[in-house]
Amino acid sequence: MSKQGVTPAISTAALDRASTWFVEFNEDEAGASERSDFVRWLRASPENVRAYLAVSAAWESACLLEGRHTINVEKLVARARVESNVIALNTAEAHDEGDSVPQRSAAATVRRSRSSPLARATLISMAACIVIAVAAVSIWDSLIRGVHATSVGEQRSVVLADGSTLELNSRTRLRVRFSDRERLINLLEGQAMFRVATDPKRPFVVRAEHAQVRAVGTLFDVYRQSSGTITVTVIEGRVAVQARRPTEGPNDGGGEAATRPVTMLGAGEQVSVTATSIPPPRAANIAAATAWTQRQIVFQGALLTEVVEEFNRYNTRQMRILDPSLARVRISGVFASTDPASLLRFLRELPDFSVDETTEEIRISRAERSTRS
């Protein structure tokens, strides 16, 4: 954790990507898809926001707009690195559901910047305003409210103040709240792996809707599925799993746990908690449960509905089951989360399956059988 008032250094990778984005926008090379990617990139990390602001400031101070067809990106990165530690951001009022506003503003501003030479000449100042708006949400979330999140297909590592580390899977959002008595994580959606630094005086507690996991020093995974099932897998050490009834809203993950029986899980064990029960622990396939950290998805007799849910976590183009009779077909296999086509090829080879791809979605239906006369 950096000291108050000191801005952490920006990585070369972030500055390089920010420079590429800025050049693409200034050269009118970014289309609708690229603009969406740009907004997702900004929201992925506060460092990306600072990198883009640094590049904007470096570009402006170097008067590079006059020779925009002979831009040296390497020099731009170098200059941005020198100036990156003197850019100040003022956090503004932000809300949980306000993320869509900066996105719309960014897209609209880029479109306006391409409409005339005069508008293009003011790209830098407008881009800085856009990024500051996005930064207000991102910095407020990450630094003040303790919220960490990933977008579609993104994974992220977070080191907490106590030395614990979190690995966030795709489409995950959680809130960190530390006090003198406990270290509390609210898993608001998605999946995360927790490597807990030992601190007997402050238990490490993860809450996910109707489940609560308590640990002192261990390594475990918690997956909050959209169906409402909370799956806890212990890789090292032991944890205590307890059912809970949140006193706050169902999507907030807060509230105190009611007095409920505690289920102890040891290394190599797993349990899936529902809103009504905690079944006995079962032996876990650790390789399958943690395959996501290696960019893989492992299915062992999973229902097609579960397969679709997993697929949709990693892809912006969503999969949909058109024929309800296919929902309970079971699937087994190992697929790369970074290669959606591998799963689609597999499904196409299954009997009675039809896979129809459009630019918007992927439709799974039952194939029509040919009839013989």
Per-residue pLDDT at 6 exceeds 50: no
Span of 25-29, 113-117, 178-182 with lowest mean pLDDT: 113-117
* C-alpha pair distances (Å), 80 with each of 61, 65, 75, 264: 10, 15, 8, 52
16, containing H or E segment: helix 12-26
d(CA 281, CA 221): 14
Per-residue pLDDT at 179 exceeds 70: yes
Per-residue pLDDT at 167 exceeds 60: yes
Span of 17-21, 138-142, 368-372 with lowest mean pLDDT: 138-142
Instruction: Give the position of tokens 């850019």.
Output: 87
CATH architecture label of 295-366: 3-Layer(bab) Sandwich (3.55)
Q: What is the mean pLDDT of the chain?
A: 75
Residue 221 corresponds to which amino acid?
A: D
Residue 246 pLDDT level (bands cut at 50, 70, 90): low
pLDDT in tens, 32-41: 677 777 877 8
* Percent of the chain whose pLDDT exceeds 90: 44
Residue 70 pLDDT level (bands cut at 50, 70, 90): very low
More confidently predicted of 308 and 101: 308
**Backbone dihedral angles phi then psi of residue 364, each to the nearest 5 degrees:** -110, 125
Quick one: CA dihedral 139, 338, 174, 362, positive or negative? positive
More confidently predicted of 157 and 250: 157
> Where exactly are the structural domains of the chain?
12-145, 149-284, 295-366
Per-residue pLDDT at 63 exceeds 80: no
CA 189 to chain CA centroid, Å, is 10
Query: Which pLDDT belongs to residue 91?
Result: 34
User: Are the CB atoms for 328 and 303 separated by under 8 Å?
Assistant: yes
User: Are the CB atoms for 15 and 80 separated by under 8 Å?
Assistant: yes
- DSSP state letters, 116-135: -HHHHHTHHHHHHHHHHHHH
Span of 143-147, 250-254, 305-309, 326-330 with lowest mean pLDDT: 250-254
Closest by Cα among 226, 196, 230 to 211: 230
Query: Which pLDDT belongs to residue 10?
Result: 74
Diameter of the chain measured on Cα atoms: 80
Angle between helical axes of 46-61 and 32-44 (0-180°, round to 10): 110
Mean pLDDT of 6-10: 58
Query: Which pLDDT belongs to residue 44?
Result: 79
d(CA 258, CA 245): 6
What six digits make up the tokens of 323?
């024929």
**Backbone dihedral angles phi then psi of residue 193, each to the nearest 5 degrees:** -110, 135
Per-residue pLDDT at 298 exceeds 50: yes
Mean pLDDT of 208-216: 90
pLDDT in tens, 181-210: 999 999 999 999 999 999 988 999 999 988
Q: How many residues does the chain have?
A: 373
d(CA 304, CA 87): 49
What six digits make up the tokens of 270?
């797993």
Partners of 208 in beta bridges: 211
Per-residue pLDDT at 88 exceeds 80: no
d(CA 219, CA 269): 12
pLDDT in tens, 125-164: 445 444 444 444 444 444 445 789 888 888 999 999 899 9
Instruction: Name, in order, each residue with C-beta under 8 angstroms of 59's C-beta and a sequence gap of 6 or more.
Output: 22, 65, 76, 124
Instruction: Name, in order, each residue with C-beta under 8 angstroms of 281's C-beta and a sequence gap of 6 or more.
Output: 263, 264, 265, 266, 269, 270, 271
* C-alpha pair distances (Å), 61 with each of 126, 208, 317, 338: 15, 48, 40, 39
Per-residue pLDDT at 60 exceeds 70: no
d(CA 66, CA 53): 20
Span of 52-61, 62-71, 327-336 with lowest mean pLDDT: 62-71
CATH number (3.90.1150.10, 2.70.160.11, 2.130.10.30, 2.60.120.1440) of 149-284 reads 2.60.120.1440
Per-residue pLDDT at 274 exceeds 50: yes
What six digits make up the tokens of 286?
């650790």
